[in-house]
Amino acid sequence: MTDHSKEKQTSEIIKTWVNLYSDSLFSWALHKTSDREVAEDLVQETFLAALQSYHRFEGNSQPKTWLMAILKNKILDHYRSNFKKPVAFENSFLDGIFTEDENWNPKEIPQHWADDAHEIMDQDELKLILSKCLKKLPLQWKTAIQLKYFEEKSGDEICQELDVTPTNFWQVIHRSKLQLRKCLEVNWFNKVA
């Protein structure tokens, strides 16, 4: 078989896979990134990568499993680059929370939420507010939360995958939680109390 016809055959196989599996891959990517545009790009990149490295595909694994493994790597790359993105207003945000001598700014002192906070956690409205608060986080902070809570990875694993130091990582988690806490307090707990 000539190289040309071989190439054509490979691209026909990949096209069949697009028809069969792109919806599953897209659903997964969307679930992980919560961003339609990003999810579409990742799935497209996955199939292009599959086309290029088709010669490494071994017939003994399922095409879907192989594609999923490529996609998972792409998602991880995506997290990695998001985490490296600088956050513009980082310092001014933290300055407002604590005073110069590092006490809570009187306006920012954490208020007692609700005595039944555990019971109200299942309420749909609270979940909705949490989603909104998550969306407001800078990309880097949101990525840290996604990795820790949604990917259920340990701190050490995350640091290894992102190639960052533990201190770097927990400081980002800290900032995210300061903001999430405040967002929930303003939008939920102060309103129900």
Partner 1 sequence: MNRILKKLVFSCKKASELIDKESVFPLTWAENIQLKVHTSLCKACLEYEKQGHLLDELLDRHHLESNQDEVPQVENQDLKVKIISKL
Binding stretches for partner 1 (CB under 8 A): 11, 14-15, 18-19, 22-24, 26-28, 30-31, 40, 43-44, 47-48, 51, 98, 101-104, 109-113, 117-118, 121-122, 126-127, 130-131, 145, 148-150, 152, 155-156, 166, 169-171, 173-174, 177-178, 180-181, 184-185
CB of 149 to partner 1, least distance (A): 4
Cβ proximity of 42 and 78 under 8 Å: yes
Phi first, then psi: give them for residue 85, nearest 5 degrees: -75, 130
Which residue is associated with the tokens 């050490």?
A: 156
- Nearest to partner 1 of 19, 60 (CB atom): 19
Residue 31 or 84 having the CB closest to partner 1: 31
Residue number, 60 or 158, with CB nearest to partner 1:
158
| Least distance CB 147 / partner 1 (angstroms) | 10
The least distance separating partner 1 from the CB of residue 9, rounded to whole angstroms, comes to: 12
Q: Which residue, 60 or 167, is less far from partner 1 as judged by CB?
A: 167
Contact 80, 152 (CB under 8 A): no
Sign of CA dihedral 177, 150, 155, 138: negative
